[in-house]
Structure 1
Amino acid sequence: MRKALVPVLGLTLLAPTVFPTMASAAESVQVKSVEFIGMPAPSTPDEMAKLYTTASLQVTYTDGSVRSFPLQYKMLFKSTDKVGSMIAGVSVDVKGNPIVDTSVSGAPVPFVSDDPDANSLMKIEGQAPTSKGGNPLSLVTHYEYVTLNNAGKSAYGVVPASMSLTTIDQNKTTGELVATDLKKIDFSGVDGLWIPCNGSLTPWNTHLGSEEYEADARAFEADPTKSSVYVSPFAKAYFQDDKMAGNPYAYGYLPEVTVKADGTTSVVKHYSMGRFSHELGKVAPDQKTVFYGDDGGNTMLFMYVADKSQDLSSGTLYAAKFNQTSDTNGGAGSLQWISLGHATDAEIQDYVNKGLKFSDMFETADKDTEGFTKIKTYPSGKIEWLKVKPGMEKAASFLESRRYAAMLGATSEWNKMEGVTANAKDKKIYIAMSYVEKSMEADTKNADPIDEIHVNKVRAGAVYQLDLAGGVKDSAGNTINSDYAASTMSGLVVGKDLAKADWKGNTADDNAIGNPDNISYSEELRTLFIGEDSGMHANNYVWAYNIDTKKLSRILTTPAGAEATGLQFVDNYNGFRYVMSNIQHPGDEMILSDALKAQVSPLIDKYWDGKRSGAVGYLSGLPTMDQMLAWKDTDQSMSPLRSTAEVKGAKVAWNDADRSITITKGSNTLVVKLGDSMAKVNGQDVKLASPAKVDNESAVFPTATLMNFLNK
């Protein structure tokens, strides 16, 4: 029979020319459920130094049959790689030229980031085909900072960050992605880019970036040379001008990047969305309500409601007051929204361009004083007494959003508020809180201005769910113009602290989340993807959490000391699914024991360019619903038998006499002879789609049959 190639996300399957379509398949068999089958935690030094997966997606059909689809991690490039003519992670100045590191005398080199973060893989209508003949896609990626200079000293904050736009070729048959060209996105029109952390793809197909850890403008005004503020060295490096002092109010916003069909980009900063430590902004399904992560200590929960859908240039900013009802499982409570006022980007940008200073907006005191409000917020982290000067309310609201909101009564006790994602069907927002501690614990010393959050400490963190509704009124009794305002907040997925470190150095349970950071959600798979930035796990992971079954599955492990970043679930581009996922700073601040670190560290140096490289890549192998049905009865993909089985905890034995292999897992056995198209599972004959064989000196076996056995 004539065979045809069928795409399978990086795997090429042979199948009959005619296979079930969605319509014909639905008449006979449908997908009943999907389940991620997780992978073990790395246990050897080599595994601890690598970025890999052995997880799979298991599909159960209405006829009772089961099919497994193995996942694969594929790297697009390292941050130190050249893609086309450009080094992916190179830092550039206002003219687009590489910024040179002269920290080692006589050895100038460009600054190159080891910290790729957010990804927005997007499909741009009208984009020209790539030179490889596949489907053209575009990828926006953040490079958050540079960890070290060439002399080995910290370069955090002082070297301007960047974003890249990569042209991606998507193979039409396999779905494999290949980076063909990369260029830096021009931020010269908005004074450069400040510490871009996470980001998201808007419903109208633009990239919504971030500027994290906004500089303390009060501290900057008092001493512009203060090293921890970073503004002046940042400005000098970006503008290549030693006379530049910089302006803290130029940074701390959400930049929106529009990618055009001809490969050019345009950038705006949304000053009306507030200035604070933007982890990211996530647009709700109404295409005008936005929720944020606000990273740091003593931070806030903000919400923005734009005047018009698909237009973030004007709107109303809100901050939440949290009314706690439970202190367990990360805590729970209701939310009351305080309006901080309405503004346009142009209005707030005008304040920035005029050089407005902190002292132009606020009077200060150094003790309890009539007319002054006592607050404590990031970035100062200290008690402050403030009064807004007459007529400066709008400027204070949008340039000092957290300070102003605290003065109005918003809760300023959140800690390490990170990623945000949306569940449209259930009308929920999910928010990661990396460390549930410090300002979120009870103030036993009565030292702080407020104590509205006093939950039980969970250093391993939690992911919260926020319930969304229409008709919600703000604190003044006015109805919020959104059907997606959050009304309640509660812990959903919570980490588990350990009383003492285990053999790897973990201080959080290795089989539960540890310090969640990036999160993304799949509507069709009903799955929340969670990436870690943990100082409590020896290796950080990406997890898949089914919101219906509550099952948590580890689907990716990163090198020790690396952070899992750039998480984006891509439902269907030209018939293929992906989970975009990066790593940054491999080998940084490892928590392994000294003996284990001595084994792992040289391997990380080997695999990750002396700990100088981050990676940009993706998980493939996730079939779309069409593919789940079309490939139900095909299994031409082959997997290495021994390594796949042993990773799943099975034992493998070779019998040289009859060239047979026996796999034992628990009370179950699988026996197969090389070249045979039949195997025995627990003594019963099982027909194989392809015979077991030797490929590249390793025995390989039909993937689905092997995974079905190993997952028993």
Structure 2
Amino acid sequence: MSDHSSRSAPPSVSRRDVLKFFASAPLLPLGASSALLTACGGITTKSPSAEYLATSFTAMAASTLADAAAMATTAVGATLNVHYGDNSTQAYKLAYQPFFITGEQVPDGKGGTVLSGGYFDIHSHPIIDRSVAGKERQFFSDAPDGTSLLALSNPAVAGIKGKAVFAVVQFEYLTRDQLGAATDKKNAYGTLPSPIAVLTLDQDQQTGKLNLIKYHNVDTASAHGLWITCGASLSPWNTHLSSEEYEPDAQFIADNALFKKYSKNLFGDERKANPYHYGHLPEVTVNPDGSGTIKKHYCMGRISHELIQVMPDNRTVLMGDDYINGGFFMFVADREKDLSAGTLYVAKVGAGFCVDPYALGATLSWIKLGHATSAEIEHLADTLKPADIMHCVKTDPLDASYTKIFADGIANWAKLKPGMEKAAAFLETHRYANLVDASMGFTKMEGTTVNIKDKIAYSALQNIQHSMVRNDPAWRASTGITINKAIVAGGVFAHNLTGDQKDTTGVAIKSEWVPVKTRALLIGEDIPPDALGNLANPDRIANPDNLKFSEKMRTLFIGEDSSMHVNNFLWAYNVDTKKLSRIMSMPAGAEATGLHAVDEINGWTYIMSNFQHAGDWSGKLHSKVKDQLDPLIKANYNDRFGAAVGYLTAEPAQFSLSKK
């Protein structure tokens, strides 16, 4: 099937309605090599009456040391092709436009500046890096992650010349402090409370370019601060749905030195932070003045939240679990557009699970874990200690009243206290899901997104290994998740969605968007080290993380968090033509983050994309490139302390698909 055959919008959709595609503007280097951002050739003007038909991408080549400069920055060599009903095609060369590199001073909207990605304590005071005497400075993140782009009907921000657009950006962690950088030691991960910011952007109505005019740091005190915010999504009601990844293990919190440092940085006291306040789902509402408010939902399971997806019913939420021995979770809210109360479920995988994209796949059934309100679970978090809920040990107690389970790949023996089912379901979700015989065998199920037209959801499995592999120490046959050999490069799975489903006790699930079958869609390929050092086939996805689906483009966008590609890539997969196209390369050692496909804001289309921890060198993967690329990356990104927040755009400047 040719690229032209993809149908991404009905015939009634006009060129003006669908695309002015990808905001274009003269591009600034901002830490990137300006030589990479060269204008493409001329664009042929097509009949203004032609109907939009489809999009395709002409892929860029994989990384090569012949262009080391490109490997050390955000390289975009792809072309977006827009196809019309009159058999014409219009092509746009893509490029990357950062809003800022973290650690830069950016406008605060009040005539001053603020440090982008800067860290603050519970009282909104800057947290200072004092690791090197005489070089004290505010900590700032090298790991921007989940990003949502949105518009409001009543913006009220001064200084807007075009139209106000807002972006919410969260910062997952800091890799190393200044002393750690000097020794190349990763010593800061998880020790600082994650910042989250609202960006006010001035959208040029002639070009679609987004200019940053205000950076607002959201006060997270009402949510007890934030812990390792990773992927994010935009809710159907226009709020930013954040995440708290790798929930601190409350049962063994006394042994968690990292969490004690986090508590010290946030509260000034290493004993004050309550582990049960973290591992939940924060939601940010953007206000018309460009500020933001936050609330945390405690009733959606305390798991390794990554990138959730709300279904079109405004109630059903699908959630991956970035965890070894993880589950596939679903939450059905009591009311539309309100995640403060609802029912939590976890999947049970039936026969047929495999990694063959041509297989039918495995059935899914759903175990009800419980119903609760957010306020109810927050109260339990405030008043209960881990020992009140269950007793858990890491050595066999030789007591039949305990159940052997695996938590993040580690054997545990757990015993639930009487009457503590609800507390366990929402505060010890991983362990409780094991106790009720859920399929807790997935490894690092990360981003989740939805194809509404086809009623298919997609989930990224960063790795397919450990608890998924037969006879691995963490594998259990009872999960139904069984493969014979690990695929470290991971893959993307597709889930068929439908209604009229019942849980495993026979009670109706009040949703028309329930996953009932899961199957492999795209699978990576592990390889011996190639000439560049890649450990996975560079022409296939490896370690997928962020996922976002564009309804109009009929395209699944995939961002990598790979320890197997020398450069991580951003991919576009057309679900109709089955064509996979590489469209962007991150700096070597950097993870692709912040993915958000935006079909239309004021007539313009964007793909948001960030990266984190450039030059995070990994053993044999980077042994062939490190010496050449390390000085380039340090020069581009503030000695590796900086990372980009931005979006994919197009060249040349000032173009539109609407009739002139």
TM-score over 0.5 for the alignment? yes
- Separation in 1, partners of 2:196, 2:473: 44
State the Cα distance separating 1:375 from its structure 2 match: 1.3
Distance 1:594 1:137, change over 3 A: same
State the Cα distance separating 1:20 from its structure 2 match: 6.4
State the Cα distance separating 1:7 from its structure 2 match: 8.8
The AA in structure 2 aligned to 1:535 is S
The AA in structure 1 aligned to 2:125 is N
Alpha-carbon displacement from aligned partner over 1:504-547 (angstroms, at most 9, x marks no partner): 10011111101100010100110000000001000001000000
The AA in structure 2 aligned to 1:101 is D
Specify the SS of the correspondent of 1:272.
coil
* Native 8 Å contact 1:532 1:541 kept in 2: yes
Specify the SS of the correspondent of 1:52.
coil
Deviates more, 1:437-446 or 1:557-566: 437-446
State the Cα distance separating 1:448 from its structure 2 match: 4.6
> Hey, what does 2:496 align to over in structure 1?
467
> Hey, what does 2:207 align to over in structure 1?
174
- Separation in 1, partners of 2:560, 2:21: 31
- Is 2:307 the partner of 1:280? yes
Q: TM (normalized to structure 2)? A: 0.88
Alpha-carbon displacement from aligned partner over 1:258-310 (angstroms, at most 9, x marks no partner): 11112332211110111011112210111100011211211111000000110
* Native 8 Å contact 2:353 2:481 kept in 1: no
* Native 8 Å contact 1:129 1:135 kept in 2: no
- Is 2:623 the partner of 1:557? no
Q: Give the one of 142, 146, 149 matched to 1:121.
A: 149
Deviates more, 1:196-205 or 1:288-297: 288-297
Q: Give the one of 223, 229, 233 matched to 1:196.
A: 229
Specify the SS of the correspondent of 1:606.
helix
> Hey, what does 1:372 align to over in structure 2?
402
- Is 2:24 the partner of 1:10? yes
- Separation in 1, partners of 2:515, 2:231: 21
Alpha-carbon displacement from aligned partner over 1:73-128 (angstroms, at most 9, x marks no partner): 11111111111111111111112121011111233211111000010111012112
Alpha-carbon displacement from aligned partner over 1:164-193 (angstroms, at most 9, x marks no partner): 111111111100011111121111112101
Distance 1:460 1:399, change over 3 A: same
The AA in structure 1 aligned to 2:70 is E
Q: Which structure has more strand as a fraction of its residues?
A: 1
Deviates more, 1:147-156 or 1:363-372: 363-372
> Hey, what does 2:278 align to over in structure 1?
251
State the Cα distance separating 1:453 from its structure 2 match: 1.3
Q: Give 1:532-547 correspondences, 5 Å limit.
A: 532-547=560-575
State the Cα distance separating 1:32 from its structure 2 match: 3.7
> Hey, what does 1:416 align to over in structure 2?
444
* Native 8 Å contact 1:231 1:245 kept in 2: no
> Hey, what does 2:553 align to over in structure 1?
525
* Native 8 Å contact 1:207 1:258 kept in 2: yes
Q: Give the one of 205, 214, 225 matched to 2:247.
A: 214
* Native 8 Å contact 2:410 2:474 kept in 1: no
Distance 1:305 1:595, change over 3 A: closer
- Separation in 1, partners of 2:325, 2:641: 32
- Is 2:540 the partner of 1:512? yes
Q: Which runs of 5+ in 2 are unaligned?
A: 1-19, 27-38, 108-112
Deviates more, 1:104-113 or 1:442-451: 442-451
The AA in structure 2 aligned to 1:39 is M
- Is 2:188 the partner of 1:155? yes
The AA in structure 1 aligned to 2:418 is P
Specify the SS of the correspondent of 2:320.
strand
Distance 1:217 1:446, change over 3 A: closer
Distance 1:249 1:622, change over 3 A: farther
State the Cα distance separating 1:449 from its structure 2 match: 7.6
Deviates more, 1:31-40 or 1:549-558: 31-40
State the Cα distance separating 1:593 from its structure 2 match: 5.1
Specify the SS of the correspondent of 1:304.
strand
- Is 2:359 the partner of 1:336? no
Distance 1:523 1:243, change over 3 A: closer
> Hey, what does 1:33 align to over in structure 2?
54
* Native 8 Å contact 1:130 1:136 kept in 2: no
The AA in structure 2 aligned to 1:33 is A
> Hey, what does 1:50 align to over in structure 2?
73
Alpha-carbon displacement from aligned partner over 1:652-687 (angstroms, at most 9, x marks no partner): xxxxxxxxxxxxxxxxxxxxxxxxxxxxxxxxxxxx
State the Cα distance separating 1:129 from its structure 2 match: 5.0
- Separation in 2, partners of 1:475, 1:289: 18
> Hey, what does 2:96 align to over in structure 1?
73
> Hey, what does 1:603 align to over in structure 2?
632
State the Cα distance separating 1:376 from its structure 2 match: 1.2
Specify the SS of the correspondent of 1:71.
strand
* Native 8 Å contact 1:464 1:492 kept in 2: yes
The AA in structure 2 aligned to 1:577 is T
Distance 1:627 1:216, change over 3 A: same
The AA in structure 2 aligned to 1:370 is A
* Native 8 Å contact 1:7 1:174 kept in 2: no
Specify the SS of the correspondent of 1:478.
coil
The AA in structure 1 aligned to 2:178 is N
State the Cα distance separating 1:34 from its structure 2 match: 2.1
Q: Which runs of 5+ in 1 are unaligned?
A: 1-5, 632-712
Larger Rg: 1
* Native 8 Å contact 1:376 1:448 kept in 2: no
- Separation in 1, partners of 2:524, 2:498: 28
* Native 8 Å contact 2:284 2:295 kept in 1: yes
- Separation in 2, partners of 1:571, 1:136: 17
Q: How many residues align?
A: 605
- Asked which structure has the greater RCO (Cα within 8 Å, sep 6+), the reply is 2
Distance 1:441 1:628, change over 3 A: farther
- Separation in 1, partners of 2:445, 2:651: 29
* Native 8 Å contact 1:20 1:629 kept in 2: no
* Native 8 Å contact 2:307 2:546 kept in 1: no
Q: Give 1:441-480 correspondences, 5 Å limit.
A: 441-443=469-471, 448=476, 450=478, 452-455=480-483, 456-480=485-509
- Separation in 2, partners of 1:11, 1:159: 36
The AA in structure 1 aligned to 2:288 is A
> Hey, what does 2:131 align to over in structure 1?
103
Distance 1:427 1:449, change over 3 A: closer
- Separation in 1, partners of 2:583, 2:206: 25
Q: Give the one of 415, 426, 437 matched to 1:398.
A: 426
State the Cα distance separating 1:67 from its structure 2 match: 2.0
The AA in structure 2 aligned to 1:491 is A
> Hey, what does 2:4 align to over in structure 1?
none
Specify the SS of the correspondent of 1:325.
coil
Deviates more, 1:120-129 or 1:62-71: 62-71
State the Cα distance separating 1:132 from its structure 2 match: 4.7
Q: TM (normalized to structure 1)? A: 0.82
> Hey, what does 1:703 align to over in structure 2?
none
State the Cα distance separating 1:592 from its structure 2 match: 4.9
Specify the SS of the correspondent of 1:169.
strand
> Hey, what does 1:311 align to over in structure 2?
338
Specify the SS of the correspondent of 1:600.
helix
- Separation in 1, partners of 2:136, 2:237: 42
State the Cα distance separating 1:382 from its structure 2 match: 2.3
> Hey, what does 1:88 align to over in structure 2?
116
> Hey, what does 1:634 align to over in structure 2?
none
- Separation in 1, partners of 2:214, 2:289: 13
- Is 2:319 the partner of 1:297? no
Root-mean-square deviation (CA, aligned residues, Å) is 2.3
**In percent, how many aligned pairs have the same letter?**
41
Distance 1:573 1:622, change over 3 A: farther
Deviates more, 1:324-333 or 1:301-310: 324-333
> Hey, what does 2:521 align to over in structure 1?
492
* Native 8 Å contact 1:74 1:620 kept in 2: yes
Q: Give the one of 301, 321, 324 matched to 2:348.
A: 321
Distance 1:497 1:174, change over 3 A: same
